[in-house]
A and B are shown apart, each in its own frame.
Chain A
Amino acid sequence: MTGRPPVADWATDFDHTDPRWTEDPYAIMAELRGRCPMARSERYGGLHAPMRYADVRAIAYDTDHFSSKRVVIRENPPNVPLPSPPITSDPPHHKPARMLLLPAFTPQRIDPLIPDARRICNELLDSLAGRSEVDAAIDYAQHIPVKVIAKMLGIPEAEGDRFREWIHVFIEDTIVDDGTSADRLVATAREMDAFFGHYAELRRKEPKDDLISFLLAAQHDGAPLTERHFYGALRLLLIAGIDTTWSAIGASLLHLATHPADRDRLVAEPELMPLAVEEFLRAYAPVTMARRVKEDTELAGCPMKAGEWIMLSFPAANRDPDVFPDADKVIIDREDNRHAAFGLGIHRCIGSNLARMEITVALEEWLKRFPKFTLQDDARIAWSKGPVRGPRTVPVRLG
């Protein structure tokens, strides 16, 4: 923790690493929407934070003025570029980098993983047998995406702690500068590359049905991927696939642990699950990405200078009452729900089918075992900070 001055005024001195934003961003979003829906800040070298759905959407669509080259707001970005195509690619490079991944994440490819996901969840639930109190985030939610993506990539799931540590360095620990942040980020990327390099060597000799083999065989502009592209894409798949989904499962379980009427209704009417999952994604959207202003422009009357950051808060868009009536209320059978939790436009989350499947299976299996679970009295919820927000502790009573 470095000593950053607390935010003086959210409209003009916005900082998403302020503990109050981490604790409860929704109150701040609502306050800002009422008086200044495009918050700004001199921090990070200049930052704009739109709170309205319409502005988030406009920026996501306007790749001419807003670049994805850096999608995590950092005080001190490293000088070494660490591209992770396609998330850090702008047109025209984005499309081919995205197209080569899309076939591996269609519903046709994800649906066959459902039995595996169910088995993974049930093994985790079996391991809780005999306990009356557990942590739904630590003992359950966090392991599910690790095991699923490890299997898809073709790397050992037993290394889960290491994956989460890498991710922590990438998206939490190095966003505020402590003098070593940029170096630690680069060192972590290199450690990941060495790890993936080991498995790439094995798959080159003997390909398997996994994403490392798939990327080794992939073609980009008629040639195999460059090393930079190959390792960048693998880092992206590991980082994008774990804390995001963990956060979504954890936030959904936290909601159900604290809203017994919703919990009972989902147990009684399991056919509501698809609508409920989308509503949890809307209300507790975990992912906020960044853009950089490419050339001076203006949006919603606010001038924006080249090089400034945009904090593209899909969570804020999803709580906009102009688009979602009763936006701060979770309505598990909400029917009109064009939420933006998986982004909007050309960078739409490639893992959305996978994530949705994991969340659905995780909630279904949990509720079958523990239909009456509740939050422990005096439970304190710790939220992650940075671009992926979710509860890192959800202490529950199972009985």
Chain B
Amino acid sequence: MTGKRIRLVVDDEKCQGHNRCRLLAPDLIEIDDLGFAHAKGDGSVSPEQADKARLAVKNCPEFALRLVTDDR
């Protein structure tokens, strides 16, 4: 299989736990016991989830989220 894979990445240094991402992309984000966000699993974003992932990135007040594209 070849192609691109998109991943959602949370920068732990920047995340302050606003939890905007969890409302916008609940399938992709989990929140820990202190309220900080983490990508679910390995962060993979399916094509159907891409819009929600982008929305979460655009609404994070701390600029803690980004999408990365890997080759595979």
Contact = CB atoms under 8 A, between A and B. Distances in A.
A335 B19 contact: no
A328 B18 CA distance: 23
A12 B70 CA distance: 52
Nearest to B54: A335
A25 to B, nearest CB: 21
A126 to B, nearest CB: 29
Nearest to A337: B59
Interface in A338-352: 338-340, 342, 344-346, 348, 352
B1 interface: no
Contacts of B19: 107, 352-353
A132 interface: no
Given A278-B20, A348-B16, A348-B18, A108 B59 contact: no
B43 interface: no
Interface in B38-72: 55, 58-63
A106 interface: yes
Contact of B61 (A108, A339, A356): A339
Interface string A315-344: 000000000000000000001111110101
B58 A336 contact: yes
Interface centre among B16, B55, B62 (most CB of A within 10 A): B16
B58 A102 contact: no
B23 A348 contact: no
A202 interface: no
A345 B31 contact: no
A337 B32 CA distance: 24
Contacts of A108: 31, 33
B55 A335 contact: yes
Nearest to B15: A348
A220 to B, nearest CB: 15
A103 interface: yes
Nearest to B62: A344
A107 B29 CA distance: 12
If over half of A's interface residues share one DSSP class (helix, strand or loop), that class is named, otherwise mixed; here it is helix
Contacts of A278: 20, 59
Contacts of B61: 338-340, 342, 344, 348
A259 B29 CA distance: 34
Instruction: Give the size range of B's interface with the partner.
Output: 20 to 34
Nearest to B63: A338
Contacts of B63: 338
B68 to A, nearest CB: 20
Contacts of A102: 17, 34-35
Given A345-B16, A348-B16, A106 B35 contact: yes
B58 A338 contact: yes
Contacts of B35: 102-103, 105-107, 353
B70 to A, nearest CB: 26
Nearest to A347: B16
Nearest to B32: A106
A100 to B, nearest CB: 10
A348 B24 CA distance: 19
A337 B21 CA distance: 12
A107 B60 contact: no
Contacts of B16: 344-346, 348
Interface in A103-146: 103, 105-108
A274 interface: yes
B55 to A, nearest CB: 6
Nearest to B22: A107
27 contacts: A99-B34, A102-B17, A103-B33, A103-B34, A105-B35, A106-B17, A106-B32, A107-B19, A107-B22, A107-B31, A107-B35, A108-B33, A274-B23, A274-B24, A335-B55, A335-B58, A336-B58, A336-B59, A337-B58, A338-B58, A338-B59, A338-B63, A342-B61, A348-B61, A348-B62, A352-B18, A352-B19
Given A345-B16, A348-B17, A352-B18, 5 more contacts: A103-B34, A106-B17, A106-B33, A340-B61, A348-B62
Interface of A: 99, 102-103, 105-108, 274, 278, 335-340, 342, 344-346, 348, 352-353, 356
For the complex of A and B, 9 pairs with smallest distance between CB atoms: A348-B16, A106-B35, A102-B34, A336-B58, A338-B61, A102-B35, A107-B31, A274-B23, A103-B33
